[in-house]
């Protein structure tokens, strides 16, 4: 098993190289000259200045040279400087990534727990009113556009009902947290800041409900389907012939057998969440990667775009690696 | 007589599918007394498994029923779910057909046995549980129970898995054991030992047994009474000896006559009623362009058509220095040599995992051999995939084991049969006439050309598979267990048909089988294979009557139904003429 993981790890640099290459070609080959993102219109009039700036950012080199420069710098840990924030991309990313991961993991937990529960219930009572309701709701859930739901929930939850605070990651009124992991919920707990924890929790609820909702239907339906598949198996009939009760059959036998596909489903929707977070962060003013990606794209800030791509790519690869490791934990047949 | 333990009374079970009412069993009545072994014999779709599931109250949700089943005097079908749960596993144990799928793949076998105990004995201590599980494993003769208790199902062989299933079934010393085709998925030698274990346990714990099987021979070895099922009805019941030696109903007679035996003077088998005899084959053949005696042109009858010389095949890379070590486990085929002469049927017999399928793929030119040479008409086959003898793809064709998975479900019958010709680049007109010809030989109704595979039964599908093989007008057929997935009466008619086709078209066969009875019926020469080696090759009669190798003897010894064949011969009045090796 260790060998399999080591083998997978050696593949990661190759995948990342491909990812960066494609993104580089897409952003530089198709988008317009990044110089327009760096300089104002007035500055662009001054040709000498433009040439100077081009040289400073290495934009005067042929594209292929820029590409290899970029790769070489990336390998050394230098992702370049943002045209927009004038900060090193790396420090920008380090500041933004925890916010997004916190949001995604929180959403995935909600959707995972809820989706597996609903999927189990629907499969256990297949064909009943409960099953039909759950299926209908998941279908509607997957059909509702995320941005629409986000705006409606924001309006209802925070304006009309005033149950939740407005956009943002933590209330401006409380003293800021000290630097830590960047995961506010964790930092607040570690630093014993109950007020900050409450605030962060209240702030994360709405955006994560929106994100969770967007994947809940998929999880529910796939878990239900794999549970029903498992229920058809001979070993379920054997369990019934043993005299095992129907709940024990659902949980100990069918759900256990569906565990592999559940892991696959969760790893798969993680990718959706990475994309979905972009919209949700923009609407909820969540200072994460998605927000950063949108602003960078607007500003033609290509080193930042490449940086976001790199982080998302690496995250996605790591999630799949974790899923692979979980497979071997869940299934003794893969362990060999 | 006291009340029977299990009494099925006028039971009718039906399924509603797409508003059509299909009856699985119709007005079935039968009793099983305490300590009695009752056999239920029937072919697929005869309703025997439904009867078994109904006895546990495990009918599918869509099923409706009439009549009742009484267990120990109380109604099963009227019982509540919680009452049933206390009966299942405690009063009635169940052994299913396929040990590969009935155990949960992700739980340790010890835990699966323990669950069966715990469901009916809450609060049993861990140590006591372990002790009981181990003693159960000893009961079912699982070696090294202390180690096996922690094994996962995939780490055990099919035979061991079925022993685990039996341990689960008898965990609470039930009064009744229902075994639904318990040994069908297993090799004969394994099957033999398993049946002995089962018989021993039933005696020891004073259980009754309902043994469901398609195999008359197995039932005959163990049961006292037997019920013959046909299309959801019991057509004949009675003491097993009487039913076998003097069957009253025509269906029972046909069923018994369809079983290929180990008798070297085996008569023509009785196939399914509508199956054709050789004259109809010939009359059908006459209606299409004659192609008799076309094959083996220019090849002398005395020279081997196919010749294997010291063929070995291994998978993966061998460690350095081990390239010639045939005992290395990577080898699937080890130093195999034999010849097949024109017009002959050469059978390869062996148990699962013996390497016969690998050998067959090498002969078919699908897998390159690692060492040695396969020659077809003197030309090398299988040195590598691309260099096949001229016209090899046309002259050598294959019939596969499983007619359910070997036909593409989204292709119509015509296209399925025509595909080899399309690959060989024939024109549409030629294809049309050749497909019709092949359908004729293989007894596929020409009307079937636009139908889909799912519209056919197993036997009809296998005929389509045979037509697909015949369509290139081959000289040589490779048959990989062509009848092992079929019911016995269908098996008989397919075997008859294969024999007829061979004679009529002058074909040569390599026929793979695990069933010595089948081999006895079709083959002239037999090779016995074990662990990748051919341990014995000889004429069919010699192999059956005078086996030299201990493994061959063991195979013959393990073949089920010794008492059955004795009865059969006594019934046919020819028992004294031949001394069969089944004795």
By the CB < 8 Å criterion, does B58 face chain A? yes
Residues A307-325: pLDDT tens digits?
Answer: 998 898 888 888 988 998 8
Residues B450-507: pLDDT tens digits?
Answer: 999 988 888 899 999 999 999 999 999 999 999 888 888 888 899 999 999 998 898 9
DSSP string, A281-306: HHHTT--SHHHHHHHHHHTT-HHHHH
According to the model, what pLDDT value does residue A143 have? 84
According to the model, what pLDDT value does residue B274 have? 45
Query: Nearest C-alpha of chain A: how many angstroms from B221?
Result: 26
CA distance A324 to A269: 15
Burial environment of residue B172 by CB neighbours within 10 A (0 to 12, 13 to 18, 19 or more): buried
Helices H / strands E in chain B, number of each: 22, 20
Instruction: Provide the pairing of β-strand B533-539 with B525-530.
Output: antiparallel
By the CB < 8 Å criterion, does B158 face chain A? no
Instruction: Look at B217 and B470; give whichever has higher pLDDT.
Output: B470
Per-residue pLDDT at A291 exceeds 90? no
CB B244 within 8 A of CB B567: yes
B561: left (phi over 0), alpha (psi -120 to 50) or beta: left
Which chain A residues touch B116 with a CB distance below 8 Å? 242-243
Percentage above 90 pLDDT, chain B: 44
Residues B51-71: pLDDT tens digits?
Answer: 999 999 888 888 889 999 999
Percentage above 90 pLDDT, chain A: 28
Which residues, including other chains, have CB under 8 Å from residue A132's CB and lie 6 or more apart? none
The single-letter DSSP state of residue B331 is E
According to the model, what pLDDT value does residue B432 have? 93
Instruction: Look at B189 and A240; give whichever has higher pLDDT.
Output: A240
By the CB < 8 Å criterion, does B103 face chain A? yes
CA distance A93 to A104: 16
Per-residue pLDDT at B97 exceeds 90? no
Which chain B residues touch A237 with a CB distance below 8 Å? 58, 96, 102
Average pLDDT over residues B249-262: 84
Per-residue pLDDT at A2 exceeds 80? no
Nearest to B56 among A239, A241, A246 (CB): A241
Nearest to A242 among B98, B107, B115 (CB): B115
According to the model, what pLDDT value does residue B288 have? 45
Average pLDDT over residues A178-197: 86
Query: Nearest C-alpha of chain B: how many angstroms from A244?
Result: 6
Which chain A residues touch B81 with a CB distance below 8 Å? 246
Nearest to B86 among A240, A243, A331 (CB): A243
pLDDT band for position B276 (50/70/90)? very low
Mean pLDDT lowest among A37-41, A247-251, B405-409, B464-468: A37-41
- CATH number of the A90-335 domain: 1.10.3720.10
Q: How many CB atoms lie within 10 A of CB A184?
A: 23
Cβ contacts below 8 Å, chain A against chain B, sum to 75
pLDDT band for position B298 (50/70/90)? low
pLDDT band for position B289 (50/70/90)? very low
Average pLDDT over residues A79-90: 85
Average pLDDT over residues B108-122: 93
Query: Nearest C-alpha of chain A: how many angstroms from B390?
Result: 44
According to the model, what pLDDT value does residue B563 have? 66
Secondary structure of residue B456 in the 3-state scheme: coil
Which chain A residues touch B176 with a CB distance below 8 Å? none
Between chains, do B98 and A234 touch, taking CB under 8 Å as contact? yes
Between chains, do B89 and A243 touch, taking CB under 8 Å as contact? yes
Which chain A residues touch B104 with a CB distance below 8 Å? 235, 238-239, 253, 256-257
CA distance B188 to B194: 10
Domain ranges of chain A: 2-75, 90-335
Average pLDDT over residues B435-462: 90
By the CB < 8 Å criterion, does B89 face chain A? yes
According to the model, what pLDDT value does residue A220 have? 94
């Amino acid at each position: 098993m260790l060998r399999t993981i080591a083998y997978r790890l050696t593949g990661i640099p190759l995948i990342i190289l491909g990812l960066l290459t494609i993104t580089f070609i897409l952003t530089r080959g198709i988008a317009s000259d990044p110089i327009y993102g760096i300089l104002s219109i007035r500055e662009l009039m001054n040709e000498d200045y433009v040439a100077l700036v081009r040289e400073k950012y290495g934009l005067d080199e042929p594209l292929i040279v820029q590409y290899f420069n970029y790769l070489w710098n990336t390998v050394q840990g230098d992702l370049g400087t943002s045209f927009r924030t004038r900060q090193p991309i790396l420090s920008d990313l380090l500041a933004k990534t925890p916010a997004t991961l916190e949001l995604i993991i929180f959403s995935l937990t909600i959707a995972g727990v809820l989706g597996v529960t609903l999927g189990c219930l629907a499969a256990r009572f297949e064909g009943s009113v409960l099953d039909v309701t759950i299926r209908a709701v998941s279908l509607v859930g997957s059909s509702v556009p995320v941005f629409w739901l986000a705006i409606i929930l924001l309006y209802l939850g925070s304006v009309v009902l005033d149950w939740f605070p407005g956009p943002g990651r933590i209330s401006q009124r409380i003293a800021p947290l000290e630097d830590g992991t960047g995961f506010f919920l964790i930092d607040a707990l570690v630093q014993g800041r109950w007020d900050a924890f409450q605030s962060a929790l209240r702030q994360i609820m709405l955006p994560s409900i929106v994100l969770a909702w967007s994947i809940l239907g998929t999880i529910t339906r796939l878990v239900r389907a794999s549970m029903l598949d498992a229920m058809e198996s001979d070993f379920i009939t054997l369990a019934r012939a043993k005299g095992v009760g129907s709940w024990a059959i659902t949980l100990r036998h069918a759900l256990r057998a569906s565990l592999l596909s559940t892991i696959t489903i969760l790893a798969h929707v993680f990718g959706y969440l990475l994309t979905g977070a972009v919209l949700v962060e923009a609407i909820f003013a969540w200072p994460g990667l998605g927000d950063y990606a949108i602003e960078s794209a607007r500003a033609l800030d290509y080193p930042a775009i490449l940086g976001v791509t790199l982080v998302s790519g690496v995250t996605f690869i790591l999630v799949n690696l974790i899923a692979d490791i979980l497979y071997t934990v869940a299934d003794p047949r893969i362990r060999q | 007589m006291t009340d029977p333990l299990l009494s099925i009374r006028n039971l009718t079970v039906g399924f509603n599918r797409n508003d059509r009412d299909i009856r699985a069993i119709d007005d079935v009545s039968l009793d099983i007394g305490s300590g009695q072994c009752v056999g239920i014999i029937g072919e697929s779709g005869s309703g025997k498994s439904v009867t078994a599931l109904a006895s546990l109250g495990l009918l599918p949700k869509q099923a409706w029923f009439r009549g009742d089943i009484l267990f120990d005097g109380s109604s099963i079908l009227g019982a509540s779910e919680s009452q049933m749960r206390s009966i299942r596993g405690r009063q009635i144990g169940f052994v299913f057909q396929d040990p590969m799928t009935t155990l949960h793949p992700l739980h340790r076998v010890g835990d699966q046995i323990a669950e069966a105990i715990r469901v009916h004995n809450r609060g049993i201590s861990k140590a006591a549980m372990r002790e009981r599980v181990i003693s159960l494993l000893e009961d079912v003769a699982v070696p090294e129970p202390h180690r096996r208790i922690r094994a996962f199902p995939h780490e055990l062989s099919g035979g061991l898995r079925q022993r685990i299933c039996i341990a689960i079934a008898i965990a609470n010393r039930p009064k009744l054991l229902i075994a639904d085709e318990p040994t069908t998925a297993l090799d004969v030698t394994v099957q033999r030992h398993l049946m002995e274990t089962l018989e021993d346990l039933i005696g020891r714990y004073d259980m009754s047994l309902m043994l469901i099987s398609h195999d008359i021979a197995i039932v005959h070895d163990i049961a006292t009474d037997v019920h013959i099922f046909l299309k959801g009805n019991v057509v004949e019941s009675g003491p097993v000896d009487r039913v076998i030696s003097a069957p009253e109903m025509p269906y029972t007679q046909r069923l018994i006559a369809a079983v290929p035996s180990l008798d070297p003077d085996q008569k023509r088998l009785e196939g399914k009623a509508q199956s054709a005899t050789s004259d109809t084959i010939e009359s059908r053949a006459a209606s299409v362009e004659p192609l008799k005696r076309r094959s083996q042109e220019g090849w002398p009858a005395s020279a081997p058509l196919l010749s294997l010389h010291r063929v070995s095949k291994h998978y993966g890379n061998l460690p350095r220095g081990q390239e010639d070590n045939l005992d290395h486990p990577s080898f699937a085929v080890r130093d195999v040599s034999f010849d097949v002469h024109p017009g002959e049927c050469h059978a390869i017999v062996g148990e699962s995992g013996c390497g016969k399928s690998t050998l067959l793929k090498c002969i078919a030119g699908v897998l390159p051999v690692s060492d040695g040479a396969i020659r077809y008409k003197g030309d090398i086959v299988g040195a590598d995939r691309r260099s096949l003898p001229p016209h090899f793809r046309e002259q050598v064709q294959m019939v596969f084991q499983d007619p359910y998975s070997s036909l593409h479900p989204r292709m119509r019958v015509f296209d399925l049969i025509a595909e080899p010709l399309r690959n060989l680049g024939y024109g549409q007109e030629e294809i049309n006439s050749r497909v019709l010809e092949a359908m004729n030989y293989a007894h596929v109704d020409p009307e079937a050309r636009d139908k889909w595979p799912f519209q056919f039964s197993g036997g009809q599908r296998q005929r389509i598979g045979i037509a697909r093989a015949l369509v290139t007008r081959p000289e040589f057929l490779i048959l990989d267990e062509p009848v092992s997935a079929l019911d016995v009466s269908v098996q008989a008619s397919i075997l008859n048909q294969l024999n007829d086709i061979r004679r009529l078209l002058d074909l040569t066969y390599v026929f793979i089988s695990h069933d010595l009875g089948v081999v006895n019926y079709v083959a002239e020469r037999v090779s016995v294979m074990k662990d990748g080696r051919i341990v014995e090759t000889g004429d069919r009669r010699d192999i059956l009557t005078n086996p030299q190798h201990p493994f061959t003897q063991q195979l013959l010894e393990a073949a089920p139904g010794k008492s059955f064949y004795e009865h059969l011969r006594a019934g046919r009045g020819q028992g004294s003429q031949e001394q069969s090796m089944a004795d």
